[in-house]
A and B are shown apart, each in its own frame.
Chain A
Amino acid sequence: MKIFIKGIGSISPQNTIQNTLIDADIIQHHTEYLKCIEPVYKNYINPVSLRRMSRIVKMGVTAAQLCLKDANLTNTDAIITATGLGCIEDTENFLNSIIANEEKLLNPTPFIQSTHNTVGSQIAIILKCNNYNATHVHKGSSFESALMDALLLMKENEANNVLLGSSDEMTPNLFKITQRLNLWKKEPINHLKLSECKTKGSIAGEGAAFFALTNEANTSNYAVINALDVFYKPATNDAIDQRISLFLANNQLKTDEIDLVVYGINGDVKSDGIYNHLMESVFNKSTSTYYKHLCGEYHTSTSFAMWLSSIILKNQVVPNIIKLNNQPIKPINNILIYNHYLNKNHSLILLSKC
């Protein structure tokens, strides 16, 4: 059974609401972290529901609405969401209120809305969808876990359509805390030239991306999701090479049949070497691209990569802003997304042209 991407929706630090990524419209941020370009939410969400939603919930719910509209669907057989850290803003509000009010007289809304499955449940409430609903929270492999869940559900004929998505938000407090963990660059940088950075740390980001998956072939579909693999803390570059070779062999593909690779390069000199190794060896004949200079680093950033790959496969256009080499662009039939989060959670997502 083939699983297709029928519709997509994304809210990111770029203008992605129209499901396009145009070189001329790329936004350069001049802030400590990359914050989403957000739409007027009243155009997408009922004001009564909207007043209780924090930013991440608005982003997630709106990206889901955009996706369903793009897929021309009004409901779905399952809702599967992913998040690395969940509703941080509401969690902060709730915890701050516990301290300020000495554990008494707490406003219930931030607590109710701070759970990790708020986005998935709010989508279900809006759609009046009582079907399968799950949220996966597994740090840097959260989106991959949700994707695995969706693929298994569809392959076992439990669902014909699945609404799959992820959302993560950055807040000033979270940025300060993670800055202490040395996750982010200390010096100001031009994030659009992230791949050229030779210092430690990355640039923080956020985003929400949703996908309407279907088992029904249609010429308007974006892509086929062929395979997914996740692995943890590979010991050496050789181990990664072997894992990729096995992954491609299991999908009856050779390395030179991967027309385009989307790397998770994040500008951190400590961990980008893995990507450079692959670009120079295993995939030296493929078009090399990356995406985190556009959306920043966050736990579920591979959903942005999958959104990007979907529009590339459908439109057969590769924006210049994501290119890392000058390989001539061939017809793009197969795209491999390879990402790792802090060199712990590694993932491979294989997409193909419909």
Chain B
Amino acid sequence: MDTLIKELKEEIINELNLEDLTPDDIDADAALFGDGLGLDSIDALSLIVILEKKYGLKIGNPDDGKEIFRSIRSIAEFIKANKK
């Protein structure tokens, strides 16, 4: 799990151009949107692209997105549970 979380952090930093951050700066349990990392709706689209491109996963029910993208850990858990 820790390896996947680190990999996700690196992927997000790279794809979202979070140049000033290192993986260690991101708390795996902190909120991605709003007060935490401060991501927005455009970033949400990028996260969907990362999930599909890198892990071959689609979010079947859009209503699940809010919970899946709550934090880095929740994304990692979704990947672990669904990756074949």
- Asked if A pairs with B, the answer is yes
Residues of A with Cβ closer than 8 Å to B? Answer: 47-48, 51-52, 101, 105-109, 112
The answer, yes or no, to whether B38 is at the interface (CB within 8 Å) is yes
Q: Say yes or no: A105 contacts B49, CB within 8 Å.
A: yes
Q: Knowing A48-B38, A101-B53, say if A108 contacts B19 (CB, 8 Å).
A: no
Q: Say yes or no: A108 contacts B20, CB within 8 Å.
A: no
From B38, B42, B52, A108 is in contact (CB under 8 Å) with: B42
Of the listed stretches B10-18, B24-32, B72-80, chain A binds B10-18
Q: Say yes or no: A105 contacts B42, CB within 8 Å.
A: no
Q: How far is the CB of A270 from chain B (nearest CB, A)?
A: 42
Q: Say yes or no: A107 contacts B38, CB within 8 Å.
A: no
From A51, A101, A105, A106, B17 is in contact (CB under 8 Å) with: A51
Chain B residues in 8 Å Cβ range of A47 = 20
The answer, yes or no, to whether B1 is at the interface (CB within 8 Å) is no
Chain A residues in 8 Å Cβ range of B15 = 107
Chain B residues in 8 Å Cβ range of A101 = 53
Q: How far is the CB of B11 from chain A (nearest CB, A)?
A: 12
Bound-state Cα–Cα, A47 to B19, Å: 9
Q: Say yes or no: B46 contacts A109, CB within 8 Å.
A: yes
Q: Which residues of B (49-71) have their CB < 8 Å from a CB of A?
A: 49, 52-53
Q: Say yes or no: B53 contacts A108, CB within 8 Å.
A: no
The answer, yes or no, to whether B81 is at the interface (CB within 8 Å) is no
Bound-state Cα–Cα, A55 to B17, Å: 13
Chain A residue nearest to B19 in the complex (CB) = A51
Q: How far is the CB of B64 from chain A (nearest CB, A)?
A: 19
Q: Knowing A105-B53, A107-B49, say if A52 contacts B20 (CB, 8 Å).
A: no
Q: How far is the CB of B9 from chain A (nearest CB, A)?
A: 16
* 24 contacting pairs across A/B (C-beta < 8 A): A47-B20, A48-B38, A51-B16, A51-B17, A51-B18, A51-B19, A52-B17, A52-B42, A101-B53, A105-B49, A105-B52, A105-B53, A106-B49, A107-B15, A107-B46, A107-B49, A108-B42, A108-B45, A108-B46, A108-B49, A109-B17, A109-B42, A109-B46, A112-B42
Chain A residues in 8 Å Cβ range of B52 = 105
Q: How far is the CB of B69 from chain A (nearest CB, A)?
A: 15
The number of chain B residues touching the other chain, given as a range, is 10 to 19
Bound-state Cα–Cα, A48 to B43, Å: 12
Chain A residues in 8 Å Cβ range of B17 = 51-52, 109
Bound-state Cα–Cα, A101 to B52, Å: 12
Bound-state Cα–Cα, A52 to B18, Å: 9
Chain A residues in 8 Å Cβ range of B38 = 48
Chain A residues in 8 Å Cβ range of B42 = 52, 108-109, 112
Mask of B37-48 contacts with A, CB within 8 angstroms, 1/0: 010001001100
Bound-state Cα–Cα, A47 to B25, Å: 16
Q: How far is the CB of A40 from chain B (nearest CB, A)?
A: 13
Chain A residue nearest to B38 in the complex (CB) = A48
Q: How far is the CB of A272 from chain B (nearest CB, A)?
A: 42
Q: How far is the CB of A110 from chain B (nearest CB, A)?
A: 11
Chain B residues in 8 Å Cβ range of A48 = 38
Q: How far is the CB of A51 from chain B (nearest CB, A)?
A: 4
Chain B residues in 8 Å Cβ range of A107 = 15, 46, 49
Chain A residue nearest to B46 in the complex (CB) = A107
Bound-state Cα–Cα, A108 to B15, Å: 11
Q: How far is the CB of B48 from chain A (nearest CB, A)?
A: 9
Chain A residues in 8 Å Cβ range of B49 = 105-108
Chain A residues in 8 Å Cβ range of B53 = 101, 105
Chain A residues in 8 Å Cβ range of B19 = 51
Bound-state Cα–Cα, A106 to B42, Å: 12
Bound-state Cα–Cα, A112 to B42, Å: 9
Chain B residues in 8 Å Cβ range of A105 = 49, 52-53
Q: How far is the CB of B44 from chain A (nearest CB, A)?
A: 10
Chain B residues in 8 Å Cβ range of A51 = 16-19
For the A-B complex with A52-B42, A101-B53 known, give 6 more contacts whose Cβ atoms are closer than 8 Å.
A51-B17, A107-B46, A108-B45, A108-B49, A109-B17, A109-B46
Chain A residues in 8 Å Cβ range of B16 = 51
